[in-house]
Amino acid sequence: MTKKFPKGFLWGAALSAPQTEGHSLEHGKSPSTWDYWFSIAPEKFNQNQGPENTSNVYDLYLDDCAKMKEIGLNSIRTSIAWTRLLPDGKTVNQEAVNFYRTYFQEMLKQGVEPVINLFHFDMPMWLMEKGGWETRESVDAFAYYAKIAFELFGDIVKKWTTFNEPLVHIECGYLYGFHYPAIVDFKKAVQVGYHTLMAHTLAIKAFRDVNMKDGTIGIILNVSPAYAKSEAAEDLLAKENSDLLTTKSFLDPAVHGIIPEKLIQLLADNHLLPETEVEDKELIMENTVDFIGLNYYQPRRVQAAPAPQFPAKMPEDFYVLYDWPDKKINPYRGWEIYPNALYDVAMMMKNEYKNLPWYVSENGMGVANEERFMDDHGMIQDDYRIEFMQEHLEFLHKGIEEGSNCFGYHTWTFVDCWSWLNGYRNRYGFYRVDLEDRFKRTMKKSGLWYKNVSEKNEIS
């Protein structure tokens, strides 16, 4: 039985400027934290592949826009590089303006609606040298950058988002040492999160002040629904704490205009409250979003911490992960595959978040050594990716049928991309990038499948 999706449903894919553009220190662009970190610690990067070794979108964007159309995409989400548009935070780089305007216009020419994000983990190094998201200066700097972007591209771009997965630069940069500056400090992480929230808030305000009446703006959040190990009170409390820290911390202020009181109390009890300014509460209340993008890859299965410290030193003092024995897993990432959660996410948005318009802004499957699955004609037979999308779309469709206001589904990603410390270890794209010749793209089988889904606006 076929399952139809709503009229006008967005079928697309997501990518980002730092992971695809290349020319990371050319054409007027200044260094981001990734450029700097690679320059001082290339050994941390898989096969020494740094931010220059991306997918050459800066050179190939005209062809890429045609390839978007070729696989039936009617929308794409990508980002602007803050370091390319405003290399010193103040001066507009006209070459960047010309590039982005032509890029976005070409998308529209090919029938692809651009959804443009402002920040995808790429902190400018000039700002990091001042303290980055630890400093309040970052809030105003981001708001200014957002205002310039709205003014320069608002006549072309009608859907905007402020941040992609803000929890990643918080957790990876300030809790677990995975990304630069590789700090492990829970209180600093909370302050970084708060300044990120205020940067988002002031960017929303800038959007309203620019008076883009025909545009909408949101935020992209990574949501891993928490499932408790048992119905025991301590496991249910672990689930609540996980949801407060990893989901509600951004979703509640973005949609409802308030930081959850339980989260404030949890932080206060553990001496983790951030420094704030008097007007912040009112600014958050007044600057909520028009829509939400939710990236979903895997669930979060939690249980009570066996020996929590007080006051808490790490999130693991509030909850710890547990290994569900019945899970299906993607062995290349070590991530659980649980499409049922996409239905739960849909119901969460319907029942807890005003049934605000939302879309799946990322969902996908990374696989290593995909050349193993290449046929005699050079096409990768990625049936595993097709199966992954099919299963998730079935549960998403169920949520839509039950009234959740979902308007689109984007996969990660359009074309194989550089993935931070992992380089090209795992591939996600509809198009394969030849690492020996990064100007060469080859459609995978999933591209043909997605084109059929998009054109029919249905799965079967």
Single out the catalytic residue among 165, 240, 336, 370.
165
Among this protein's residues, is 458 annotated catalytic?
no
Residue 165 designated active-site: yes
Distance of CA 43 to the CA centre of its chain: 26
Classify residue 323 by burial, with Cβ atoms within 10 Å: 0-12, 13-18, 19+: exposed
**207, 160 contact by CB (below 8 A):** yes
As given in the structure block, the two tokens for residue 47 are 């096969």
Give one DSSP letter per residue of 104-126, joined into a string: HHHHHHTT-EEEEEEESS--BHH
Say if CB 364 and CB 413 are below 8 A apart: yes
How far apart (Å, rounded) are the C-alpha atoms in residues 294 and 323? 24
350-380 burial, b if ≥16 CB within 10 A, otherwise e?
A: beebeebbbbbbbbbbbbeebeebeeeeebb
Going by DSSP bridges, is the β-strand pair 406-412/358-362 parallel, antiparallel, or unpaired? parallel
DSSP 274: P
In 253-356, DSSP assigns E strands to 291-295, 300-303, 320-321, 329-330, 335-336
**How far from 38 is each of 46, 52, 421, CA to CA, in Å?**
11, 10, 9
Beta bridge partners of 121: none
CB atoms within 10 A of CB 196: 23
User: Which residues participate in catalysis according to the annotation?
Assistant: 165, 362
